């Protein structure tokens, strides 16, 4: 589903990613680990062009989204992202956070279809063979109602239905992160990128977020996760990548990755984190 080909990224003189190639299939749970400053977050952020890659290609659903001519906003809708610091919209309530993007995007599409129909109707006046109008089956009100229902269902799923109308500032870290995860789910993405989703949480809240992520994994969601939770990687991932100094040094299923690491630097890394 995602083909990363010779991805490169440098900030000025500083080469952060160096010739990274990796293929991610539908349903894959890819965990990316590595020492800090190794470029793993940058790699993840390049996947949805939060950082513009300076070289290489990222083929997502058959389109090279690293190309600057591509409308990245359309492809990002199919790619959720969860941040270390949650980044919930502070000026919106919990449910508005979840509804905002789906409602906006669908209303935008509706508006475009209406404009197109208007133009077609006008040009049809001068055409012998009338062109068919685009069918419009929905309305703004219906879009909003559907989004609201969907958002409530998502909140029910994480047990935060009663928090629908409060502002994010009143939630705990774990609750915020779970809301952030369902916010990205609301767009029905093909893949979700997790950028150290548990690093900013109190230890007692890590569990609830990881449980939700495991749930998603069980449902077959494609996920790419940058994390320091080695236990989680062992349990859930079907592929673990080790990135250091901007290169993928090892890529293997978790059993092999943790049981029989080949790269000496990975061996060193694991000996430090698995104590």
Partner 1 sequence: MGDFERKVERFIEIFINQNGYVKVVEGLKNTLLIAILGLIIGILIGTIIATVRVIPKYKVLPRILNGICSFYVGLFRGTPMVVQLLVCYYVMLPLMGAHMTGVQVAILVFGLNSGAYISEIMRSGILSVDSGQMEAGRAVGLSFGTTMIKIVIPQAVKNILPTLGNEFITLIKETSVVSFVGAADLYVAFSYIGSNSYEFMVPYLVMAIIYIVLVMIISLGIKTMERSLRKSDRRH
77 binds partner 1 (CB under 8 A): yes
Cβ proximity to partner 1, 87 vs 124, nearer residue: 87
Residue listed under structure tokens 């900013």: 200
What whole-number distance in Å separates Cα of residue 148 and Cα of residue 161? 12
Distance (Å) of CA 233 to CA 128, 147, 178, 242: 63, 33, 19, 12
* Vertex 194 angle, CA 189 and 195, to 5°: 140
Q: Which of 17, 33, 101, 179 binds partner 1 (CB under 8 A)?
A: 101
59 binds partner 1 (CB under 8 A): no
Kindly indicate which of the ranges 114-122, 144-152, 181-189, 265-273 contains the residues binding partner 1, using the contact rule CB under 8 A. Answer: 181-189
Cβ proximity to partner 1, 59 vs 187, nearer residue: 187
* Burial status of residue 203 (CB atoms within 10 A of its CB: 0-12, 13-18, 19 or more): exposed
Q: Which of 63, 74, 136, 273 binds partner 1 (CB under 8 A)?
A: 74
Q: Is there a contact between 26 and 20 (Cβ–Cβ < 8 Å)?
A: no
Q: Is there a contact between 247 and 21 (Cβ–Cβ < 8 Å)?
A: no
- Binders of partner 1 among residues 22 to 51 (CB under 8 A) are 48, 50
> In angstroms, what is the minimal distance from the CB of 75 to partner 1?
8
Kindly indicate which of the ranges 35-43, 163-171, 217-225, 263-271 contains the residues binding partner 1, using the contact rule CB under 8 A. Answer: 163-171
70 binds partner 1 (CB under 8 A): no
DSSP codes of every residue in 79-139: EEEE-TT----TTS-HHHHHHHHHHHHHHHHHHHHHHHHHHHHHHHTT-SSPPPPPP----
110 binds partner 1 (CB under 8 A): no
Q: Alpha helix locations (H) across the chain? A: 40-47, 72-76, 94-124, 140-157, 173-185, 203-218, 230-236, 254-259, 264-273
For the window 117-156, what string marks contact with partner 1 as x by the rule CB under 8 A?
----------------------------------------
76 binds partner 1 (CB under 8 A): yes
> In angstroms, what is the minimal distance from the CB of 16 to partner 1?
17
> In angstroms, what is the minimal distance from the CB of 69 to partner 1?
13
Residues near partner 1 (CB under 8 A) are 48, 50, 73-77, 79-81, 83, 85-92, 100-101, 104-105, 167-170, 180, 183-184, 187
């Amino acid at each position: 589903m995602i083909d990363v080909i010779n991805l490169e990224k440098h900030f000025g003189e500083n080469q952060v990613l160096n010739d990274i190639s990796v293929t991610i299939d539908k349903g894959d749970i890819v965990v990316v680990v590595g020492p800090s400053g190794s470029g793993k977050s940058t790699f993840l952020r390049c996947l949805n062009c939060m950082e513009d890659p300076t070289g290489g290609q990222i083929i997502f659903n058959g389109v090279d989204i690293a190309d600057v001519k591509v409308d990245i906003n359309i492809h990002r809708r199919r790619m959720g992202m969860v941040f270390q610091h949650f980044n919930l919209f502070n000026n919106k309530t919990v449910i508005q956070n979840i509804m905002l993007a789906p409602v906006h995007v669908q209303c935008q599409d509706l508006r475009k279809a209406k404009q197109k129909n208007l133009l077609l109707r006008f040009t049809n006046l001068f055409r012998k063979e009338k062109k068919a109008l685009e069918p419009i089956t929905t309305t703004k009100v219906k879009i909003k109602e559907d989004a609201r229902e969907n958002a409530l269902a998502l909140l029910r799923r994480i047990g935060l239905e009663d928090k629908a109308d409060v502002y994010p500032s009143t939630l705990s870290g774990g609750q915020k992160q779970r809301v952030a995860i369902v916010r990205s789910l609301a767009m029905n993405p093909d893949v979700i990128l997790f950028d150290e989703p548990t690093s900013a949480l109190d230890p007692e809240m890590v569990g609830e977020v990881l449980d939700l992520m495991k749930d998603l994994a069980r449902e077959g969601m494609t996920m790419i996760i940058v994390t320091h939770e080695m236990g989680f990687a062992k349990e859930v991932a079907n592929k673990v990548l080790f990135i250091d100094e901007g290169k993928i040094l090892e890529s293997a299923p978790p059993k092999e990755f943790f049981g029989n690491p080949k790269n000496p630097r990975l061996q060193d890394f694991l000996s430090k984190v698995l104590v």
